[in-house]
Amino acid sequence: MLKIASYNIHKGVGTDRRRNPGRVIDVLNELDADIIALQEADRRFGPRAAAIPPLLLEQYSDYRATPLDVQTDSMGWHGNAILAHKSAQITAHDILHIPYLEPRGAVMAQIEVKGFDVSVFGMHLDLSGLWRRRQAGAIMKLAQQYGADTPTILMGDLNEWSASGGCLSVFARSYNFVDCGRSFHSRGPIARLDRIMHCDRLAAVAGGVHDSAAARKASDHLPVWAQLTRA
């Protein structure tokens, strides 16, 4: 069984408007997933330093960030990062350029863990519905290219308020959605902005929203998670 998760950490700023990456670490440890896609993993301005200091992540969590060969102080690419459990092997990684109205990007990693060899794509899509659909189409093509030989997982903050339309209808052409639940806003979830999708070579056994006291304070999003197995 493979456990994956997606989490918009809001640059480490909690619902009390205080930046506290230690609380994010607590939530990551609660999740106890094998692979986690993060959004807003870097600060917005200046050198875009990682919202979670690398030493803090190394010493107090079971995860390491996928190297993306981007800015020295950043964890991700346009805030997108992929964490893998320290027992996992990261065999490939890349940053993905997608069309955008506001600066956006996506990331991918090929990871071996628990006998699974998967291609994982993390994303944070645009606020504009038109651009979200364009971005979804671009990511689909890239996923077909990078994930041709391995089971593929797509996850992230899609910023899609529609129940089934918009960019969701684009992804649904080739991928299955895990029924995780409402993840935004963390103090009173009303929307399914955070999504996990997988190809037909995988099957979802369970999925949900991680709603803990720590998660309700650490970010304005709650993490979503899924347990997958081979189809």
Q: Which two tokens stand for residue 194?
A: 């955070």
Is the pLDDT score of 72 beyond 80? Answer: no
**What does the pLDDT read at residue 70?**
75
> Which residues, in sequence order, are bridge partners of residue 121?
108, 154
In whole angstroms, give the CA distance from residue 227 to residue 216.
22
The domain 2-230: what is its CATH number? 3.60.10.10
pTM of the model: 0.97
Mean predicted confidence (pLDDT) in 30-52: 91
- Mean pLDDT along residues 143-161: 95
Chain-centroid distance of CA 117 in Å reads 18
pLDDT at position 223 over 80: yes
Other C-beta atoms lying within 10 Å of the C-beta of residue 99:
11
pLDDT for the residue numbered 71: 66
For residue 141, give every residue at least 6 positions away whose Cβ sits within 8 Å of its Cβ, in sequence order, or none.
Answer: none
Displacement of CA 204 from its chain's centroid (Å): 17
CA distances from 105 to 31, 41, 136, 187, 215 (A): 25, 13, 11, 28, 25
Residue that wins the pLDDT comparison between 151 and 69: 151
Residue 54, number of CB atoms within 10 A of its CB: 13
Instruction: Note whether 127 and 136 are within 8 A (CB).
Output: no
Instruction: List the Cα angle 25/222/12 in 5-degree steps.
Output: 45
- Answer for the pair 186, 216: CB distance below 8 angstroms, yes or no: yes
Q: What does the DSSP assignment read for 81-149?
A: EEEEETTSEEEEEEEE----SSS--EEEEEEEETTEEEEEEEEE--SSHHHHHHHHHHHHHHHHHHTTT
DSSP 67: P
pLDDT above 90: residue 44: no
pLDDT digits (tens, 9 = 90+) for 157-206: 999 999 999 999 999 999 999 999 999 999 999 999 999 999 999 999 99
Give the confidence band of 156 by pLDDT, cuts at 50, 70, 90.
very high
Mean pLDDT in the chain? 95
Contact 151, 199 (CB under 8 A): yes
Burial (Cβ within 10 Å: 0-12, 13-18, ≥19) of residue 35: buried
